[in-house]
Structure 1
Amino acid sequence: MTIGVGLAMLLSGEQRALAAGPALSQQSIDKLQGLERELSNGHYQQVVDTARSRAASAGSSQAEQWARALYLQMAASAAQRLDQPGRAADLLYQARAIETAPLSQRLQWLEQEAKLRLRAGQLDQASALFDRWQGQASLGSDDLWLGAQLHARLEQWDDALHWVRLARQGNASPGSEHLALAANIYQQSGQLEEASNVVEAQLDQDDSDPARWQQAAALYQRLGQPGRAAALWEAGWQRGILKGEEALMMRAKLHMAGGTPARAAEMLTTALEDGSIEDSEAHRRLLASAWAESRDHQKALQAWQAVAERSDDAHDWYMLGDLAYGWGVWSQAEKGFAKARARGADNPGQLLLMEGVAAYEQGRLDQAQQIFQQAEEFGDSADQAEQWLALIDSDRRSLQPSSSRISMR
């Protein structure tokens, strides 16, 4: 947003302006008109010096104090022309402190001082003046947006939120620059639903900027609406605005978070096959996770086994074992846990327990017994291992022929 400040010349239309306050002597009017001519001729520093000097020597009568205010305003106009906004603001501050000046004129100077403080980079003073100005006058849309921007620059988000709501009330169709400001203020002040609505309004105006699609998707994620984020990202992808490997990976992750993991798995499979994304271990893990989340047992186990065989990493073997264990695919569970343990995975005692259960479920009691005996050596699995060994012993006794059991007694 471009910040421009234009001090209206008080003495243009001088009869109306001068009539606003106490009647001035002809001498004061002549002096003011002379300064106006010097200002028009570009003698800015001379106007500043002369106007300040005359203001300092003004008498105490109401007419003299009104003339003093006008001299200070004239000096402020010249200081602004000299590109001295801070000095001009100080002069207007002095002018509006003169109570003889009409309230309407002092309010105009308040507005001008506020904008000059902003131009001078005196943001704290400017924000206080903007708030005071807004409390005393009905501001136009551009000035309301300017106030919102000022408070946003100061990271005064609650105040900025107040200003942006006022601005939007008076401007039903703000431009893209104002929408961007509003979206930032809503987001920073925690009004995420309003922020997402504004970002979508930006997309309606211009959907060519990938950053806006990314911002909208991120807002929906923060709102706890991953499905909406995934749908928005998918729309941007289908339009060709979001593209490339990074965008594709985000597309897959959003589908996973949004409850459509099978869709993510399918697009990752295609991308790996056609070379759209690098055939890396990380991408293969994401594919395996997607199939697992979709609960496609066969594809998930195949994918995790492929990842584990490729990386030979303890965690990958554990993931294979854990999935297979949960789905009752005992041979792969046993293999996964055994490999994870051999590769130095944490909690070997617990891994031995699950490996033993997998062997037991396949009916290999002797091997299960050996595994549980190893598990007895670990404190966190010893009690459970003993229970499994007792169960195996009970199973064996129940399988003995009756004559055999009698002879053993």
Structure 2
Amino acid sequence: MTRFDGFDLAKFTRSASMIVLAGVLFGTAVSDADAQRRNRRDAEQSEEDAAERVFSAAIGEIVLVAQEQQGLELFAESIETLNRALNTSGINPYERSIVLQMRGRAYYEQEQVQRAITDWETAITTGAMLTSEIANLRINIGQLYITEGQYDQGINTLEAAIRDAGPDIVTAPLARMLSQAYAQAERYQDGLRWAEAFWELHPYADRSRGDYSLMLFYYQQLDMIPQQMEIVEAMVARWPDEKRNWTSYASLLAQTNRETDAFEANKIMYINGMLTESAEIERVSQYYSYFEYPYRGAAILEREMNAGRVDRDQGNLQLLANMWRQAREWERAIPVLRQLAQLTGDGDDWVKLAEALYQEDQLSEAETAFQEALNRGGINRPGDTWNLLGTVRYELGRRQSAIAAFQEGARFPYARRTANGWATFIRAEINGEAERARLRRRIARDECGFTITDLVNGARLFGDVDEEGRVNIDVPERCQPFYNRFGEPIEEVAANDADAESDNG
């Protein structure tokens, strides 16, 4: 016999059969002694109706046979026997109520639930049952409606039982049954009072995981966040090793903008080995990044990738690379960025690789990566990339190539000011170096002019001249670019210097 949340249908109908047997054996009216103790109103009703609550010998014999048949689980036979009783003329209301209850039990045992319900509801209409008997029977009927998926009928029947017998009849199992029926009917607001009544009636020590889950379900459906938090915190405290409790707790903390607490909850789960799914580990590593601990988040993600617990897919590589970049761990970011760039072929991924290489002073590789990014295309801000390429080329000492890159960058309005600034600076640097070289040369030439004049005059004074009247002097090495051995200016050099000075304006 199936038991429903503490209400045993077979036990109830068997007790009714015992009442019948006692009436037959002793030929006296049998009142419901348990109901007398529980409810004075039933006792008074019993005394008033005692004359009517008796069995005739004929009906009593039939009922006794049916009872024996049910004891032997001959339920089909007992139905036929009970049908004879119901068809007997002169059967009184009390006898009819007992027979209907017994037949209802037989139908129930044969899984003819609707017929069982009909018999029990008809038994109530006889008017021969005590208030407590009606309430108990309605509780059984309500359970059957619920098991048949007729939730509203089950709710109405159970609540009618409570109205019949008063609020004292409400026990924790009954309140739980009602709350479950309301939940099945998706009438959460109406059912909340029964769920909370069950919670209050059910002792803390006896509460199971299912009981906590029932309350949490109601509060979730009604979006009652503080109450959800109360239940989940209690579950975490009571079952601290259960992952689902911690997961719900962390989710609620995030929903209530307690992100720091949610982060701590996820840390506890990770440290205690509760997070095993790839998405869970990704989430905890992202928390580290969000709370300015990108190094720790990246270290966790990389370790779990290497262990095979986190997928080494494009999204996770992107996440790992971004966290290493956020932590300014360029050396550790480079292998990940290179793998990502080769995997996606995306221009922006090549830009990120180039930036990391630049940060690590790997300038030649950075230049190649920037150029690759520009060749791939699809870059978010290509003007900025051209400017970065120009910067790398400048640091490599390739100033004309750098200017060419900055000229490309100047084609984009958002990058133009920076590009033109750099190009102007490099040109000025080149021109400044040339001017300084010319100035140094001119000073050197002028200084040599004085030196050569002195040497020429000395040679003439001592008669050190050739047949053509030219002196022959030993020109210092520093002056050899400007004067020949006769102390004469080298005409080509002088002409070039004059042109340079003229160009300089």
Query: Which of residues 351, 358, 362 in structure 1 aligns to 2:388?
Result: 358
Task: Report Cα offsets for 1:303-324 as digits up to 9, x if no partner.
Answer: 4432221232324334457899
What's the offset of the Cα at 1:109?
2.0
The gaps in structure 2 that reach 5 residues or longer are 21-29, 33-44, 436-499
Query: Which of residues 289, 302, 306 in structure 1 aligns to 2:331?
Result: 302
- 2:4 is paired with a residue of what secondary structure? coil
- 2:52 is paired with a residue of what secondary structure? coil
- The verdict on how the C-alpha distance between 1:143 and 1:397 changes in structure 2, with shifts beyond 3 A counting, is same
**Structure 1 letter corresponding to 2:267:** E
CA distance in 1, matches of 2:292, 2:132: 61
Query: Which of residues 140, 146, 151 in structure 2 aligns to 1:112?
Result: 140
**Structure 1 letter corresponding to 2:124:** R
Q: How does 1:56-205 map to 2 (within 5 A)?
A: 64-98=92-126, 101-133=129-161, 137=167, 138-173=169-204, 174-205=207-238
185-194 or 357-366, larger mean C-alpha shift: 357-366
What's the offset of the Cα at 1:175?
1.7
Identity, in percent, stands at 17
**Is structure 2 residue 46 aligned with structure 1 residue 16?**
no
Task: Report Cα offsets for 1:13-51 as digits up to 9, x if no partner.
Answer: 561139377332755576257415522432533443454
Equivalent pair of 1:225/1:258 in contact (CA under 8 Å): no
CA distance in 1, matches of 2:18, 2:291: 64
What's the offset of the Cα at 1:165?
1.8
**Residue number in structure 2 paired with 1:38:** 66
The TM-score, its normalising length taken from structure 1, stands at 0.73
What's the offset of the Cα at 1:53?
6.2
Query: Which of residues 280, 283, 288 in structure 1 aligns to 2:312?
Result: 280
- The verdict on how the C-alpha distance between 1:323 and 1:28 changes in structure 2, with shifts beyond 3 A counting, is farther
CA distance in 2, matches of 1:11, 1:247: 59
Equivalent pair of 1:21/1:100 in contact (CA under 8 Å): no
CA distance in 1, matches of 2:125, 2:53: 22
Task: Report Cα offsets for 1:306-365 as digits up to 9, x if no partner.
Answer: 22212323243344578999x9x9979987665433334354xx22x1123435667948
Q: RCO (CA 8 Å, sep 6+): is it higher in 1 or 2?
A: 1
CA distance in 2, matches of 1:385, 1:237: 45
CA distance in 2, matches of 1:158, 1:319: 54
CA distance in 1, matches of 2:172, 2:202: 6
**Residue number in structure 1 paired with 2:8:** 6
- The verdict on how the C-alpha distance between 1:67 and 1:244 changes in structure 2, with shifts beyond 3 A counting, is closer
**Residue number in structure 1 paired with 2:439:** none
- 1:146 is paired with a residue of what secondary structure? helix
Equivalent pair of 2:267/2:284 in contact (CA under 8 Å): yes
CA distance in 1, matches of 2:320, 2:419: 39
Task: Report Cα offsets for 1:68-121 as digits up to 9, x if no partner.
Answer: 433322321232333433321222222334556444433222211011223344
- The verdict on how the C-alpha distance between 1:90 and 1:183 changes in structure 2, with shifts beyond 3 A counting, is same
CA distance in 2, matches of 1:198, 1:83: 38
CA distance in 2, matches of 1:163, 1:287: 50
What's the offset of the Cα at 1:394?
6.4
- The verdict on how the C-alpha distance between 1:229 and 1:28 changes in structure 2, with shifts beyond 3 A counting, is farther
CA distance in 1, matches of 2:264, 2:83: 65
Equivalent pair of 1:183/1:195 in contact (CA under 8 Å): yes
- The verdict on how the C-alpha distance between 1:86 and 1:57 changes in structure 2, with shifts beyond 3 A counting, is same
Q: How does 1:201-350 map to 2 (within 5 A)?
A: 201-243=234-276, 248-256=281-289, 260-271=293-304, 275=307, 277=309, 280=312, 282=314, 283-292=316-325, 295-297=326-328, 299=329, 301-311=330-340, 312=342, 313=344, 314=346, 315-320=348-353, 338-347=371-380, 350=381
Query: Which of residues 414, 420, 432 in structure 2 aligns to 1:384?
Result: 414
Equivalent pair of 2:370/2:389 in contact (CA under 8 Å): no
What's the offset of the Cα at 1:132?
4.6
Equivalent pair of 1:307/1:316 in contact (CA under 8 Å): no
- The verdict on how the C-alpha distance between 1:16 and 1:204 changes in structure 2, with shifts beyond 3 A counting, is same
CA distance in 1, matches of 2:409, 2:83: 94
What's the offset of the Cα at 1:167?
1.3
CA distance in 2, matches of 1:20, 1:117: 33
What's the offset of the Cα at 1:207?
4.1
Aligned residues: 392
Task: Report Cα offsets for 1:205-249 as digits up to 9, x if no partner.
Answer: 444444444444444444444433343343344444555867654
The gaps in structure 1 that reach 5 residues or longer are none
- The verdict on how the C-alpha distance between 1:209 and 1:374 changes in structure 2, with shifts beyond 3 A counting, is same
- The verdict on how the C-alpha distance between 1:197 and 1:363 changes in structure 2, with shifts beyond 3 A counting, is same
Equivalent pair of 2:281/2:310 in contact (CA under 8 Å): no
What's the offset of the Cα at 1:397?
8.7
- The verdict on how the C-alpha distance between 1:272 and 1:115 changes in structure 2, with shifts beyond 3 A counting, is closer
What's the offset of the Cα at 1:168?
1.0
Equivalent pair of 1:180/1:202 in contact (CA under 8 Å): no
CA distance in 1, matches of 2:233, 2:140: 36
CA distance in 1, matches of 2:78, 2:229: 52
- 1:190 is paired with a residue of what secondary structure? coil
Equivalent pair of 1:356/1:368 in contact (CA under 8 Å): no
191-200 or 390-399, larger mean C-alpha shift: 390-399
CA distance in 2, matches of 1:166, 1:27: 41
Equivalent pair of 1:304/1:319 in contact (CA under 8 Å): no
What RMSD over aligned residues (CA atoms) do the two structures have, in Å?
Answer: 4.6
